[in-house]
Amino acid sequence: MKHLLKILDLEKEEILDLLNLADQLKYEQKNGIAHPHLAGKTLAMIFEKSSTRTRVSFEVGMFQLGGHPLFLSSNDLQIGRGEPTIDTARVLSRYCDGIMIRTFGQEEVEELAKYSQIPVINGLTDFAHPCQILADLLTIREYKGSFEGLKVCFIGDTNNMANSLIVGSLKLGMQFSLATPDKYQLHPEIAAFVADNPLFEQTSDVLAAASQADVVITDVWASMGDEGEAEQRKQDFAGFQINQAVMDVAKEDAIVLHCLPAHREEEITTEVFEKYADVIFDEAENRLHAQKAVLVKLMK
């Protein structure tokens, strides 16, 4: 593994290897065991989209690993004034030991990696959110013990979260049920990945999708960049909400995940969010541990 650009690029064994390393680093951090694997290393963090969890978790992660993070907004870089991505990649390769980028187009991350001489990590694009999905998988395994025989249900938009979660879940052998309005179809690359896979189903019937699910997940109806469609999406996704009726048809010991931020009473009710808040904030914390595993694997 040279870069982390999307979950599609990873084999099952690579995903498990990252999760196992995340477990180890989490244990060490919780028990006060120092692990300065990246002492003297520097991570350039490019943010073209705003962030809470991504920025804080990567900065804290690099600090705990003994390295140094550099926050770079598009306003701080010449890339924001038209410098080609390929030139930014080649310059940062001379100064830093790794690049994390949070941006819009997947093609920008792919181009950055193509011309970079150092590892590139996708902190989020409109197509993929691999770091979040590694945290989700880590959380699922913590609560369920293993992935064997589990059913994951995602309710909402066919966005970057759904794309990455579908791929990660299926690669680990879990059943995946996607509940989304009929007009919201899968990205062609994801549609090709799930084609003829008996573990995958897509439906507009929320209760059918959630039936006997072990894990129920959602995300905001309008992602960053979709704000202009917010009102239309509220109409389109009316009924595509995690509420008590949904949880009543899931397994009794099902867990709820949300990548945050959450819009209560839209994609999830306040009642359900607060009932599963401990799990959701364990998931948020696991961004730190999963990303530290990625940083160590790529930059050590």
Rounded CA-CA distance 47/66 in Å is 22
Residue 132 annotated in ligand binding: yes
Rounded CA-CA distance 134/71 in Å is 22
Residue 233 annotated in ligand binding: no
Residue 223 annotated in ligand binding: yes
Q: Is 228 exposed, middle or buried (0-12, 13-18, 19+ CB in 10 A)?
A: exposed
Residue 54 annotated in ligand binding: yes
Residue of 3, 55, 102, 289 with catalytic role: 102
Question: Within 13 Å, how many C-alpha atoms sit on residue 244's CB side?
Answer: 4
Residue 153 annotated in ligand binding: no
Residue of 96, 202, 259, 289 with catalytic role: 259
**What does DSSP assign to residue 229?**
G
Residue 51 annotated in ligand binding: yes
Residue 20 annotated in ligand binding: no
Task: Enumerate residues 6+ apart whose C-beta is below 8 A from 224.
Answer: 49, 50
Residue of 29, 97, 219, 241 with catalytic role: 219
Residue of 3, 141, 258, 287 with catalytic role: 287
Residue 226 annotated in ligand binding: no
Residue 116 annotated in ligand binding: no
Query: Is 264 among the catalytic positions?
Result: no
Query: Is 233 among the catalytic positions?
Result: no
Residue 81 annotated in ligand binding: no
Terminal-residue alpha carbon distance, the chain: 12
Query: Is 102 among the catalytic positions?
Result: yes
Residue of 3, 55, 129, 289 with catalytic role: 129
Residue 137 annotated in ligand binding: no
Residue 289 annotated in ligand binding: no
Residue 131 annotated in ligand binding: yes
Task: Enumerate residues 6+ apart whose C-beta is below 8 A from 60.
Answer: 288
Residue 224 annotated in ligand binding: yes
**What does DSSP assign to residue 53?**
H
Query: Is 96 among the catalytic positions?
Result: no
Rounded CA-CA distance 257/279 in Å is 7
Residue of 29, 132, 202, 241 with catalytic role: 132
Query: Is 132 among the catalytic positions?
Result: yes
Specify the amino acid at residue 22. A
Specify the amino acid at residue 127. F
Query: Is 258 among the catalytic positions?
Result: no
Please check whether residue 299 is in contact with residue 41, taking contact to mean a CB–CB distance below 8 angstroms.
yes
For residue 268, what are its two tokens? Answer: 């999830």
Binding residues for L-ornithine: 160, 219, 223-224
Binding residues for carbamoyl phosphate: 51-54, 78, 102, 129-132, 259-260, 287
Binding residues: 51-54, 78, 102, 129-132, 160, 219, 223-224, 259-260, 287
Return the active site residues: 102, 129, 132, 219, 259, 287
